């Protein structure tokens, strides 16, 4: 099979497994991103996410993660939903409404690898779903899945930004795709809407001010400076995506495992406030909310309760 045929086969199989977009890049050093990443880290925008400072060289070159790698396959899996929280309820990011995406999307990727090897023969590589030191947005942009928006997230022209990214780093030679163009123009809706001013100029995110970071990654107490700014978000945040004009093209996902947890259908603030650790562990057994753990979730809720009236 030729490199062109390899690429066509990968894309056809990816589509059959439900991936909404698939792009291919040559495995190489991300020289453009290296300086930008170094500057971002030097300013402390990563907050307590010290893992972003580790394995710097590997983060920039997939061949150091998978020896002999020739190709990076970038994949996008839709998680957009028509679900809306009850009036006055606490808010949870759309990506966390159903089963943990790490496992759902990883299962799809492993199935893609199995089908691909059955079609063209054995090759070596690894699957990555928001794991290991892989710059997934940079690879997705390089392979034409979309462009990096001003909020730092990948925007796909056909479906917006509500998509999980995954990668196959493999030693199979494939015909690469090229990047697309930026279509944000002069729009600043995401910057204007962010209540904590986490979105800075030049597509820079001060993650240490982001509500998603504050409610998930931050393990210490949330700084008092953010009181009254969290807008009832207790796990993640969708504000910058909800206001993005490109997400008018988003269509609800068709993945049964992303069906919103039944708890979200009826839970008012009182149910969240009163939830016990036993109930939390039972209800959110396979949920991304397990990442914050019960203690973290209760901290986020308490912080909202103590917020001054506006």
Phi, psi of 25 (to 5 degrees): -130, 155
Q: Smallest Cα–Cα separation from 140: which of 60, 10, 37, 24?
A: 24
Contacts 24+ apart (CB under 8 A), 256-261: 257/98, 257/99, 257/104, 258/79, 258/81, 258/97, 258/98, 258/99, 258/101, 258/104, 259/98, 260/81, 260/83, 260/97, 260/98, 261/97, 261/98, 261/287
235's CB contacts (< 8 A; 6+ apart) are 92, 93, 96, 215, 216, 288, 289, 292, 297, 300
Asked about 57 being catalytic, the answer comes back as no
Q: Find the catalytic residue in 130, 171, 177, 182.
A: 130
> How would you label 7-27 residue by residue, b for 16+ Cβ within 10 Å and e otherwise?
bebbbebbeebebbbbbbbeb
**Cα–Cα dist 22/75, whole Å:** 5
Catalytic residues: 130
């Amino acid at each position: 099979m030729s490199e062109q045929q390899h690429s066509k086969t990968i894309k056809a199989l990816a589509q059959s497994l439900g991936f909404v977009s698939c792009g291919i890049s040559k495995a190489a050093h991300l020289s453009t991103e290296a300086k930008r990443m170094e500057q971002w880290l030097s300013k402390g925008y990563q907050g307590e996410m010290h893992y972003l400072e580790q394995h710097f060289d590997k983060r920039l070159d997939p061949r150091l993660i998978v020896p002999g790698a020739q190709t990076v396959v970038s994949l996008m899996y839709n998680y957009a939903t028509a679900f809306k929280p009850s009036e006055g309820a606490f808010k949870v990011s759309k990506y966390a409404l159903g089963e943990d995406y790490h496992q759902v999307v990883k299962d799809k990727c492993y199935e893609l690898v199995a089908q691909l090897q059955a079609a063209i023969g054995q090759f070596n590589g690894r699957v990555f779903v928001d794991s290991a030191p892989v710059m997934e947005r940079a690879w997705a942009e390089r392979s034409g899945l979309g462009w990096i928006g001003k909020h730092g997230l990948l925007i796909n022209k056909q479906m917006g930004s509500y998509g999980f990214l995954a990668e196959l780093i493999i030693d199979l030679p494939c015909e690469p795709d090229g990047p697309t163009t930026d279509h944000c123009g002069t729009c600043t809706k995401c910057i204007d809407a962010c209540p904590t001013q986490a979105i800075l100029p030049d597509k820079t995110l001060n993650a240490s001010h982001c509500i998603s970071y504050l409610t998930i990654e931050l393990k210490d107490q949330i700084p008092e400076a953010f009181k009254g700014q969290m807008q009832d978000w207790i796990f993640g945040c969708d504000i910058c995506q909800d206001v993005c004009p490109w997400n008018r093209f988003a269509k609800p996902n068709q993945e049964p495992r992303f069906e919103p947890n039944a708890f979200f259908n009826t839970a008012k603030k009182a149910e969240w406030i009163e939830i016990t650790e036993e109930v939390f562990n039972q209800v959110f057994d396979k949920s991304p909310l397990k990442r914050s753990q019960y203690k973290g979730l209760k901290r986020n809720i308490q912080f909202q309760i103590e917020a001054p009236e506006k």
